[in-house]
Amino acid sequence: MTVVATSGFLGVSWILLIVFSVLAAVCLVSLVVTRAARDVWAVRSEHRRELVRRSIFDLVMGDEDEAAAARRDLESTQGRHRQRVQDQILTMLPKLRGDSRDVLVTLLLARGAERRAVALTRSRSAVRRCRGAFQLGVLGLTEHLPVVVRLLGDPAFLVRRVAVRALGNMGDPRAVRPLLLLGEHDHRLTRDLVYALDRLGAAAAPELRTVLAERLAAGEHLHLDPAAVVLGLIGDRDAIDVLATGLESENPSLAQACAEALGRISAPESIPPLVAALLDLRPNVRAAAAHALGSIGSSVAADSLADVVEEEEPQVSRQAAEALLRLTAGRALLEASGSAYAREALALDAVRGGRR
Amino acid sequence: MTGAVPLLLGLSGSWVGAVLTVMGWLFISYSVAINSSFVVLTFLAMADFTAYRRKVAFAAYDESFAEPLARGVSVLMPAYNEEMTIVASVQAMTSLRYPDFEVVVIDDGSKDSTVQTVVEAFDMVEIPLAQAPMVPVKGEVLSTWVSTRGAMNLLLVCKANGGKADALNVGINVARKELVCMVDADSLLDPDALLHVSRPFADDPERVIASGGVVRVANGSTISQGRVTEIAMPRRWLARVQVVEYLRAFLIGRAGWSAAGGLLIISGAFGMFRRDILFEVGGVATDCIGEDAELVVRLYRWMGDNDVDGRIVFVSEPVAWTEAPETLEVLRKQRARWHRGLTEIFSRHRGMLLRPRYGFIGMITMPWFLLFELLAPFVEVFGLAYFVVVVVLLLLGHTGLVPADWVSLPVVVILLSTSVAFSIMMSLVALLAEELSYRRYRGLRSLFVAVRAAVEENVGYRQLTALWRVRGTVDALRGSTHVWGEMKRRGFSDPGS
Amino acid sequence: MARIVIADDDADIRELVVFKLRHGGHDVVPVGDGAAAVEACTAEKPDLVILDVMMPGMSGLDAARALRQDSAMDGLPIIMLTARAQESDIEQGFEAGADDYIVKPFSPRELASRVSAVLARSR
C-alpha cells in the first residue's frame, strides 16, 4: 500500500512543483514587463494629456484663430486617440459652466457622442454601462433620462452608483422620485444620493417634500435621510413643516437628519419643534436639535438650551453649550451654569477669540 | 505552510515508520488545507481589486471633500516619551485632508519633555475640557490643553501612566467628534487617509460601525515632516522581507477577507470607529496586548449578542505606513507580542467559535484564524523538527546504523521544493497584484529587490518568525496573570512598538 | 497687467485659470494649497489672490483670514472659489475677508470679468 501511495504522491508532487515554478516564472515576467511598460507609458500619456488640454483651452478660451485651429486638431483625432480625447473632454465638462461648456458639448455631440453613449448603456459589460451613464449625465442629455433611470435597477452595484451620480449631473428634477425609491432598497448609496439630489438643487425641492411627506404619512421611516439632508442643503423654507414632522420619527437617523436640515435652513419658524426635540429620548437627536438652535441664533431657545447643558450628557451638553455661545442671551446663562460643558465652551471661546 | 514533509517507504511493520508516516500525512493535509485557502483568498482578492480598479475610474471623490455627510473625526494619538518625534507626527496629523476633524494627543505620563515640547511648538493653552465618564479609565487626567494656532483642532490631554489602551480610553472620553480613529505616535498617514476610511460611514450611515484601511511598510521610503514622500524598497534584507510579507498578508488576506466580509486581526491596522458604539462596548481592553484587534472582535461579538445589523468595512486603499523593525531583536519582540495578542483574543472570545449567531465571523473567519494563523507557527516548528530528524536519519542511513531505506532523499527534496515554490509563487502573485492595482513602487530595480526578498523570506525568515510566534503563545498561556504588571513596566519604551 | 496668485488643489481648474488670465495679459502664480498661497502672497506681493475654499491642510477660508491679519497685505483683494452657492458658505467667505466669490463649476469669461472688476475697484 505504502509503495503505491508514495510513488503516486511523488508524481503529484513533481507536477505541483513544475506548475508552481512555471506560474512563478510567469508572474515574474509579467511583473517586469508591467513595471517597465507602465513607467514609460505614464510619461508619454501625461505628455499627450497636456497637448490635449492645451487644445481644449484654446478652443474654449482662445481667440478666433486659436479656437479654430484647436477645433481642427481635436476633430481630426482618430481611433484610440479619439477615445482618449473624448474622455478627457468629458472629465473637464463638470468643472465648467456657460459658453465654454456648451462649446465642448457641441463638439462632442457633433462627433456622435450621444449615439455612442446610449449604445454603451446597453452593453453587456458593466464597465461600459457605467461609461454610458456617466457620459449621458455629463452631457446633460435629458431626453435620455429614462435610459439612465433604468440603470438604477442594474444588477451591478457600480452601475447603480454611477447612474445615481449621472442623474445628478444631468439636472432634470424628474429624476428625484426614482432616486429616492432606489435609496429605500439600496442602503449603500446614501452619499451618492445626497450628491445627486444636491446637484439637482432647488428644482428638486418640491418633489423631495412630497415624497418625504408621503412616506412619513404612510408610516415608513427608513432610508429617507437623503431627502431630509438635501432639503437642508438647498435651504428650502417650504420644507420646514415636513421636516418638523420627520423630527418625531421613530428612526433616530432620520430624526437627526431632519434636525440638522432645520439648522441649515435657519428659519425662526423651526424653533418650537426643535425646542421640543431637546426633550427627545435619543441623545443624537437632542444633540442635533441643540446644534440647529445655535445655527438659528434666536435667544428664544436660550433657557431650554441651558437646561440641556445642565444635564451633563456628553455629546448633547457640548452642542448645547456651543449653541448658547451663538445666542445673545446665552453667554450669561453659560457663565451662571456650573456644568463642566459650560466651562469648557467658555474657555474655548476665550481662546479662539469668538471664532467657531 | 510547512517545511519538508518527507514520507517513508514501505515500513508498515516498523513503529518508527508508522509514526513518521502518520506525521507526514498530517503535515501534508495541513499544508494542503492552508494553501488551498490562500488560493481561494487570492481569487477573492483579485475580484476585489478588479472591482477597485473600475471604481477608481468613476470614483470622483474630489467632489466628496466638501461632503455634507462627512462626520467629524477625532484622531486619538497616545504618546509616551516621544519628545524627539512628537512635533513632526502631530504636524502631519493636523494637516490631513478632511473637512471636520480634530487631533487628540494623550500623554501617558511621559517622563521626558514630550508635553513641554508639544505645548510650546503648538502654542497651547490649558483649558478645562469636559470628559464624558463613559468608558472606565484607570490613569487620572491631570490637565487638558488646546492649541491656539491654525485651525485650532489640536487637543492635548495629560494623564497619569496607565498604558496605551488606557490612554486610548481617556481619548475616547475626551473626543468631541462622532467618529474616532486610533493611531500610534509613529504612524504615518496618507493625507487622504481620513477621507478613504470615513467613506463607508457616509455610504451606509445606518449600519456601518467601524472601518479599517491597509497599512504598508515605510522603510526605505523618504519621510519628511511625518509624511511618506518618495516610496522605495528598503536596502536591508530584514526590512525588504517584511515589505513583501505585508504586501502578501494585507493585499491577499485583507482584500480576500474584505470581499468575504471577514475580520482584520493584524496589529497596527488603521481603524475608525463610531464613538457611541465604543461607549456601548466599554472602549478598548486594557488587559490585552493586541487591543485594536481585540476591539474589532469584541464589536463582532456585541453585534451578535445584541442582534445588531451592523457592518465593519475594510477599504482596500492603502492609507497608513509603519516603520518595520530593522533589527532581529525588535522584530522578535514584535512578532512574539502580536502572537501573544492573538492568543489572548482567542482565549477571551472562544465562545464565539462556530456559533451561528456570530455569522460569518464566528463560523468561518475565526476558526480559520485559529487553525491557520494561531496554530501555523506550531506546525511550522514541528515541521522543522521533523525535517531535522529525517535528515539525521538519512545520514545515519548512509552510515548503516539504521536501515538505509527508511528515508528517501529525492522525496524529501521534492516535497521541500514544492512547498518553497508555492510560497514564492504566492509572494509573486501578491507583487503582481500590487503592480496592477496600487502601483506605489517605481523602477525596475525596486522590483528585483522585491523578488529577491520573496525568495529570501523562505530561507530562514519564516522559520525564525515561527519560533518567535510560538514563544508568544506560550507567554500568553503562561503569563496571563502577569499581563497587567508587564504592561505597566513596558509601556512604550519598546522601540518599534 | 497684474500679478495674480491662484490657489486650488485641482490641477485642471488651476491650469484653466492660469490660461485664461495669462491670455488676458496678467502674470499668474499657481499654487496647490492654502499654506503655499500665504507664502506666495508674502513673497510675490500680488495685486489679487484667488482662493479655492476647500483645500488640504489650510483651507481657503483660513488662508484668507491669515492674509487679512497680516498688515503687509492690507488692501489685497481676495476672490473665493466655492463649490456651493449656499448663503452660509457665502457669508463665511465674506466674513473671512473675501471681496468677491465665484461658484464652481465656473465660466472662464465670468472669471475674467470679475477679476477685471475687482482689480479696477482696488486701484
Is the Cβ pair C19, A95 closer than 8 Å?
A: no
Distances (CA, A) of B136 to B108, B145, B168, B247, B292: 16, 21, 11, 37, 17
Q: Which residues in C lie closer than 8 A to residue B225 (C-beta atoms)? A: none
Q: What is the pLDDT of residue B492?
A: 29
Give the residue-averaged pLDDT of B311-317. Answer: 77
Residue B2 pLDDT > 50: no
Residue B257 pLDDT > 70: no
DSSP code per residue over A102-163? HHHHHHHHHTTHHHHHHHHHT-SSHHHHHHHHHHHHHHT-GGGHHHHHHHTT-SSHHHHHHH
Conformational region of residue A340, where left means phi above 0, alpha means psi within -120 to 50, and beta covers everything else: alpha
Quickly state the pLDDT bin for B116 (edges 50, 70, 90): very high
Q: What is the pLDDT of residue B57?
A: 64
Give the residue-averaged pLDDT of A330-346. Answer: 88
Give the residue-averaged pLDDT of B465-486. Answer: 70
Is the pLDDT higher at A109 or at B403? A109
Q: How far apart are CA A33 and CA A45, in angstroms?
A: 17
Q: How far apart are CA C44 and CA A131, in angstroms?
A: 44
Q: Label residue C105 exposed, middle or buried (CB < 10 Å: 0-12, 13-18, 19+).
A: middle
Q: What is the pLDDT of residue A288?
A: 93
Residue B407 pLDDT > 60: no
**A37–chain B Cβ distance below 8 A for any pair:** no
CATH superfamily of C3-122: Response regulator (3.40.50.2300)
Q: What is the pLDDT of residue B3?
A: 31
* A327 within 8 A of A299, measured Cβ to Cβ: yes
Question: What is the nearest CA distance from C82 to chain A, expressed in angstroms?
Answer: 12
Q: Which fold has domain A84-91+114-198?
A: Leucine-rich Repeat Variant (1.25.10)
* B412 within 8 A of B394, measured Cβ to Cβ: yes
Q: Which residues in A lie closer than 8 A to residue C105 (C-beta atoms)? A: 94-97, 101
For residue A4, give every residue at least 6 positions away whose Cβ sits within 8 Å of its Cβ, in sequence order, or none: none
- Nearest residue in A to B62, CA atom: A95
Strand order, beta sheet including B311-322:
B124-126, B141-147, B154-159, B101-108, B73-79, B179-182, B270-274, B208-217, B311-322, B188-189
Which residue among C88, C104, C107 sits closest to A100, beta carbon to beta carbon? C107
H/E stretch holding B274:
strand B270-274
Q: How far apart are CA B353 and CA B347, in angstroms?
A: 11
Q: How far apart are CA A317 and CA A290, in angstroms?
A: 8
- Nearest residue in B to A252, CA atom: B206
C contact test, residue of A50, A54, A58, A60 with most C CBs within 10 A: A60
Scored b (16 or more CB within 10 A) or e, A154-177 reads bebebbbbbbbbbbbbbbbbbbbb
Q: What is the pLDDT of residue C97?
A: 85
Number of C-beta neighbours around residue B222 at 10 A? 11
Q: What is the pLDDT of residue A3?
A: 47
Give the residue ranges of DSSP H helices in B374-443. Answer: 376-399, 409-437
Distances (CA, A) of A296 to A243, A267, A308, A328, A329: 15, 6, 17, 12, 14
Instruction: Kindly report which listed range (A173-182, A258-267, A284-293, B478-487) carries the lowest average pLDDT score.
Output: B478-487
Angle between helix A314-325 and A283-296 (nearest 10) = 10
Question: What is the nearest CA distance from A298 to chain C, expressed in angstroms?
Answer: 16
Give the residue-averaged pLDDT of A262-291. Answer: 92
Domain architecture of chain B: domains with CATH? 1-60+207-497 (no CATH), 73-198 (3.90.550.10)
Coil, strand or helix: which one is C94?
Answer: helix
What is the DSSP secondary structure assignment for residue B223, as one 8-state letter? Answer: E
Instruction: State chain B's mean pLDDT as an integer.
Output: 77
What is the DSSP secondary structure assignment for residue B230, as one 8-state letter? Answer: E
Residue with cell 484601511: B213
Q: How far apart are CA A72 and CA B10, in angstroms?
A: 82
Instruction: Kindly report which listed range (A33-42, A332-341, B439-448) carries the lowest average pLDDT score.
Output: B439-448
- Nearest residue in A to B441, CA atom: A35
Digit-coded pLDDT (tens) for B373-386? 888 888 888 877 77
User: Considering only CA atoms, which of C53, C55, C57, C56 is closest in space to residue C96?
Assistant: C53
What is the DSSP secondary structure assignment for residue A280, as one 8-state letter? Answer: -
Digit-coded pLDDT (tens) for B15-46? 766 777 677 777 777 777 777 777 777 777 77
**A14–chain B Cβ distance below 8 A for any pair:** yes
Grid coordinates representing C101 are 466669490
Highest mean pLDDT among A40-49, A109-118, A262-271: A262-271
- Hey, CA dihedral for A326, A328, A329, A334, is it positive or negative? positive
pTM, two decimal places = 0.81
Residue B491 pLDDT > 70: no
Q: Which residues in C lie closer than 8 A to residue B191 (C-beta atoms)? A: 56
* B31 within 8 A of B2, measured Cβ to Cβ: yes
Residue C83 pLDDT > 80: no
Q: How far apart are CA B186 and CA B79, in angstroms?
A: 9
Other chains touching C, judged by 3 or more CB pairs under 8 Å? A, B
Please report, for chain C, the start and end positions of each structural domain, with discontinuous segments joined by +.
Answer: 3-122
Q: What is the pLDDT of residue B267?
A: 46
In one-letter notation, the amino acid at residue B255 is A
DSSP code per residue over A7-66? HHHHHHHHHHHHHHHHHHHHHHHHHHHHHHHHHHHHHHHHHHHHHHHHHHHHHHHS-HHH
Quickly state the pLDDT bin for A9 (edges 50, 70, 90): low
Is the pLDDT higher at B132 or at B265? B132
In this structure, chain B runs to a length of: 497
- Nearest residue in A to B154, CA atom: A348
Highest mean pLDDT among A8-12, B8-12, B72-76: B72-76
Give the residue-averaged pLDDT of A94-120. Answer: 87
Digit-coded pLDDT (tens) for B318-366? 678 888 888 889 888 888 888 888 888 888 888 988 988 888 888 888 8
Q: What is the pLDDT of residue A6?
A: 56
Please report, for chain A, the start and end positions of each structural domain, with discontinuous segments joined by +.
Answer: 84-91+114-198
Digit-coded pLDDT (tens) for A131-174? 889 889 888 888 999 999 999 998 888 889 889 989 988 889 99
Scored b (16 or more CB within 10 A) or e, C39-62 reads ebbeeeebbbbbbbbbbbbbbbbb
In one-letter notation, the amino acid at residue A114 is E
Question: What is the nearest CA distance from C120 to chain A, expressed in angstroms?
Answer: 22
* B446 within 8 A of B233, measured Cβ to Cβ: yes
**C85–chain B Cβ distance below 8 A for any pair:** no
Which residue among B66, B96, B97 sits closest to C84, beta carbon to beta carbon? B66
Residue B231 pLDDT > 90: no
Is the Cβ pair B12, A187 closer than 8 Å?
A: no
